[in-house]
Amino acid sequence: MIDLHSHTTESDGTLTPRELIAAAVAAHLEALAITDHDTFAGYDAAVRLAAAARIELICGIELSVKWRGQTVHLLGYFLDGAPHGFRTWVLQALEAREERNRRLEQSLNDHGIAITLEEVHRLAGPLAGRPHFAALMIQKGYAANTQEAFDKYLGEHAPCYVPRDEPAFVEAVGQIARHGGISSLAHPGRTFANRDTFEEHVREMRGNGLHAIEVWHSDHSDEDSRFYEALAGRYGLRVTGGSDFHGANKPSIALGTGRDGRLNVPRSVLDRLRASASWPSAL
């Protein structure tokens, strides 16, 4: 069993890289991809730990990109051999995230929410996002729970929402491909609820260089996975799968097995994926 979608404390997970590798060992995983948002810091910290634990570690990343005016998440794999230029490009996305956080801090302050970005980073670590703002708002009594924080303040239709400058889908897919990686559309079931129109998106994304679809995910039912797998086959796309593990931030999702133990991504998925990549694995 493998898991190609996980997060550490270097983005919005609650396990350190060391703890995540220990969890992978406990879950009897053969291979694990660390796919933190906009950073390789979690992967970098885990490389030697994974080797010592005999866990095959895949260098991954999750990027927020713009597609037809909406945000979609793109997974990138096998980027450990990529030149320094790709990491420089990723840093630009990280800087855009931090600029958005500064504007979000100001917007919340303007609406009477006394929160500082420094406080958010103390809670979140180096990479902060709206879930961390929500957690601090709950701590300070401005919201009862995360849903209320987003509904009243942080969500796209809420008064404090601040849009983020994100790279275009075509640019991100191109950057991943140029540096020897494989791009996969993350959790399509969460992003595209309408299956009738989703096929049109897939066709166009494929034409713009997309390599794969995340067929197996904790949010997908068995029926969903069959649908996405068939769609991938029709358009010659590779398939990926992972739990989207975040630790205590998503307590219902277990590493490797996802929600309610429904996930079981076979090793053959990784073998076929690697065979089509330009760069070897890190192990």
In tens, the pLDDT along 33-58 reads 999 998 999 999 999 999 999 999 99
Report pLDDT digits (tens) over 161-173: 998 888 999 999 9
Q: DSSP label at 127?
A: S
Q: How confident is the model at residue 114 (pLDDT cuts 50, 70, 90)?
A: very high
Q: What is the pTM of this model?
A: 0.86
| Straight-line distance from the first to the last Cα atom of the chain, in angstroms, rounded to the nearest whole number | 17
Report pLDDT digits (tens) over 52-70: 999 999 999 999 999 998 8
Question: 124 in helix, strand or coil?
Answer: helix
- For residue 80, what is the domain's CATH number? 3.20.20.140
pLDDT at 211 over 70: yes
CB-based contacts of 156: which residues, under 8 Å, 6+ apart?
none
User: In terms of pLDDT, which residue wins out, 186 or 80?
Assistant: 186
| Residue bearing tokens 């929402």 | 161
Overall average pLDDT of the 176-184 stretch = 94
User: In terms of pLDDT, which residue wins out, 256 or 128?
Assistant: 256
* Whole-number average pLDDT of the chain: 92
Kindly state whether residues 79 and 197 are assigned to the same domain. Answer: yes
Report pLDDT digits (tens) over 216-230: 999 999 999 999 999
pLDDT the model gives residue 279: 44
Burial 9-25 (b: 16+ CB within 10 A, else e): bbbbbbbbbebbbebbe
Task: Mark which of 115, 134, 154 sits at the end of a domain.
Answer: 154
Dihedral pair phi/psi, residue 27, rounded to 5°: -85, 0
pLDDT at 144 over 50: yes
pLDDT the model gives residue 278: 52
And the tokens for 137?
Answer: 């708002």
In the chain, the number of structural domains is 2
CB-based contacts of 203: which residues, under 8 Å, 6+ apart?
235
Kindly state whether residues 141 and 187 are assigned to the same domain. Answer: no
Q: Classify residue 182: in a domain, yes or no.
A: yes
pLDDT at 82 over 90: no
pLDDT the model gives residue 282: 37
The CA-based dihedral angle spanning residues 252, 116, 63, 76, taken in that order and rounded to the nearest 10 degrees:
-70
Residue-level length of the chain: 283
User: What is the residue range of 105's domain?
Assistant: 91-154
Cβ-contact 173, 184 below 8 angstroms: no
Report pLDDT digits (tens) over 223-273: 999 999 999 999 999 999 999 999 988 899 999 999 999 999 999 999 999
Residue 223 burial (10 A CB sphere; 0-12, 13-18, 19+): exposed
And the tokens for 112?
Answer: 């009477």
pLDDT the model gives residue 15: 95
Q: Classify residue 150: in a domain, yes or no.
A: yes
**Edge-to-edge strand order for the sheet containing 212-217?**
2-3, 31-34, 56-67, 70-77, 182-185, 212-217, 238-242
Cβ-contact 56, 28 below 8 angstroms: no
Kindly state whether residues 131 and 46 are assigned to the same domain. Answer: no
